[in-house]
A and B are shown apart, each in its own frame.
Chain A
Amino acid sequence: MRGFKKSMWLLAIVILTGLWAVSPALAEDKPHYGGVLRVALAGDPPSLDMHQEQTFMVTIPMSTVYNTLVMFDPHQYPKIIGDLAQAWTVSEDGMTWTFTLHQGVKFHDGSELTSADVKASWDKIVFPPEGVVSTRKSLYQMVKSIEAPERYTVVFRLHYPAASFLSMLAHPANFIYAKKYLDQDINWYKTHAMGTGPFKLQEYVRGASLEFKRNPDYWKKGLPYLDGAKYFIIPDTGARAKSVRAERTDVEFRGFAPVEVEAITAQMGDKVTAAHSGQPAHWGIAINVDKKPFDDARVRQALSLALDRYEMVKTLGPLTGLDTIAGPMPPGTPWTLSPEELQTLPGFGKDHEANLREAKRLLAEAGYPNGFQTVLTNRAVKLPYIDFGVYVVSAWKKIGVEAEHKLEESATWSKSRVTRDFELLVDPFGFAAEGDPDEVMVKFTSSSPSNWGRFKDPVVDQLFERQKVERDAQKRAQLVHDMQKRVMDQAWEIVGLWWTRVEVRSARIHNYEPLPSHWMNRRLEDVWLSAR
């Protein structure tokens, strides 16, 4: 009997020890309330109104304060699920979309969200009044009108049955604001933050940090898990990387260069996860066609021919993450130009010596046998802007084009784009929704606000118009291919390289995966932190 008792005790001890060892591991899978997520952010938001801004510096912090009508499922991209919309229906002809909203959703000021707020916010985005900027409004050119017939019902009527409509609606920048404040002052949201989201803006110290705290009355019960989030403004790339390495911040939401990623993962091992989340953006060069000699296609083609993309990718890839060659549509989709198609376009042929000769010949033909002087306006951000600019400026010297590399602070560079105060401009473009041609290619149409060079090519416009209503996927893909080839053949915009985003985050962050665009999945409503 004594032997039996002893072995029972032993068994009990083993089981208890086992449970004790295993339970923390089990606990990790269960969301854990508390903690403040610390994020390293590259700069100050120019204003707090996402509708009127174009930079991740607004999207990344401010997404915590608001909801959108629909959104990309953060755990099953690219599936689209409702956010403020509980459900929706589409008419037979695809031209009427009816959304039913959740009830009892409260703004941070206590008032209830109704369809009037959704309508007011969307009217601002699609039909901006005088004095209000809406650079993405071309994405919604299919919208004829927005109605709020009942308290919790919103109806979108379209001009044509656009295949991309729901995807455009799910774009992360479409914050829903309160009508009350928009009526007071349409620009109220530039300096105030008041939404229905899981966090409230507690304090913004310009140049230092943005601090958000948990919204205890968030309409999605049980969320958020975090007590808050703090965004530290650290303009210098090296310093941002060091903040993650020193564990002063938990994550950097835009992306680091491969060199930095190597250094961080080497030092921190398992404490961090580095994810290659996708290729959301492309760096190219916009050309102001109203300034001589850029109205001449031969000059534009020469500028493109002088760039050896295959060499550029090897040089800039490890330094900046600009490591993929493709046309204007992102790599890895049915819209992407094949390598064979690319090689026929100026600057993408494999024989660089021949390209250089052709470039010089074209310049001579256009009347510039000895090249000319110009200015490349660029944003004063090291990665990848400055490095891309340096490569391009150095490459153009070989054909006699002496470009002064003019660096401008973010706000000034933004303004130079809008006011067209440039000859050549380093131009990032990409997607934050799904990368549908309606989102990416609209930039090359003559009426798009983001067609910085303001070129007007009726062939391009027509191809865009045809593809946006084309319901047959294959025919649409062909039209999109043709449109890209036309833009590149005429060198209206100089296509550069696509950027692979590598996001580095602390292993303490759970229930979160980075999506292709650094604008996405920034609400943090169901993200949780494990204890240190």
Chain B
Amino acid sequence: MAIATRPARPVERPQALPKHHFWGAIGKFVRTKPLGAAGAAIIVLMALTAVCADLIAPYDVYEINQQLQFTPPSLAHWLGTDEFGRDVLTRIIYGARIALFIGLVSSFLGATGGAVIGVFSAYLGGKTDLWIQRLMDILLAFPLLVLALAIVTVLGRSIPNLIVAIAIPVIPRTARIVRASALTAKENVYVEAARAVGSSHLRVMWRHIVPNVMAPFLIVLTAQLGSAILTEASLSFLGLGTAEPTPSWGLMLSGGAPMYAEKAPWLAIFPGLAISLAVFGFNLFGDSLRDALDPKLRHRT
């Protein structure tokens, strides 16, 4: 006897998102959060500049040109030249690369480290949590720049050391926020269920806690990125970061700029503007991201 097999109901095929949906989402973001969109635009501009530096830079970043020393902004040199005759615009473009690279790597390292500590601390609870939090408090007691300064002084000047020095202060700041979310996530019933079924601690943390802390993690990451860029500029300014002739924005501010401020004010203005814009962009975007993903976090530091 043939049994007719027919599906009880027509199977619904999952529909691919229509293309305009993606642009629609962007459009919605721009309309509802114009400041955040502006911040995002700045970030994208900076990233493009950093990536395409070799293509868009009008001149060589290291070439010293005696005839061109101290030329004010002009058509040939939009942002003028410095005391060595090097094009300021070119150096700002390459500076974006250094700022982004160091900023990204150090904040990513720090935030990831902090997130791991935060999740572990929240999940394990009890005495472990207590001790870890006290350790985080000690690190938090130092202002960010002071801690970074101390670390670079001990480790010595080099780009890897700089990245470590900027990453370390980010750890406690991330840990604290991630831990708060992790504590909430821990209370969910499915976590208990997973443990009951026999999942290992690591598996539970990875599969059930971590996805719930991604939102705060991303928010802190973007916020710390702006801060990391500022810290790198500050350390270079203080003479503990990158060294001349590397084109770091902070270094440009500390090098000839104060000495030649009367003769060539553009040497200080443009790197300063670049730093301000970068930090501003990340802060704006980070704020809007936070609002979009988790309005509850609005009142946390």
Contact = CB atoms under 8 A, between A and B. Distances in A.
Interface string A403-441: 011110000000000000000000000000000000000
Interface majority SS on A: helix, strand, loop or mixed? helix
A112 interface: no
A336 B258 CA distance: 37
Interface residues of B, number: 20
B66 A405 contact: no
B66 A390 contact: no
B62 A315 contact: no
Contacts, number: 54
A218 B64 CA distance: 54
B243 A406 contact: yes
A471 interface: no
Interface stretch (A61-69, A73-81, A391-399, A449-457): A391-399
Interface in B219-246: 239, 243-246
Main secondary structure of the interface of B (DSSP, over half): loop
Contact of A318 (B69, B246, B262): B69
B244 to A, nearest CB: 5
A238 interface: yes
A473 to B, nearest CB: 39
A393 B66 contact: no
A238 B239 contact: no
B33 interface: no
Contact of B64 (A260, A318, A394, A406): A394
A203 interface: no
A49 B179 CA distance: 57
Interface in A222-248: 236-238
Interface string B190-217: 0000000000000000000000000000
A315 B262 contact: no
Interface string A310-331: 0100110011000000000000
Given A315-B84, A407-B239, A393 B245 contact: yes
B263 interface: yes
Given A311-B66, A315-B64, A315-B69, A406 B259 contact: no
Given A314-B66, A387-B84, A391-B64, 10 more contacts: A238-B259, A315-B66, A315-B84, A382-B259, A386-B244, A387-B83, A390-B64, A390-B245, A394-B245, A405-B244
Interface of A: 236-238, 257, 259-260, 263, 311, 314-315, 318-319, 380, 382, 386-387, 389-391, 393-395, 397, 404-407
A-B pairs, top 8 by smallest CB distance, nearest first, are A315-B66, A394-B62, A405-B243, A314-B66, A390-B244, A238-B259, A390-B245, A407-B243
14 contacts: A311-B66, A318-B69, A319-B69, A380-B239, A386-B255, A387-B83, A389-B244, A390-B84, A390-B244, A390-B245, A394-B62, A405-B245, A405-B246, A406-B157
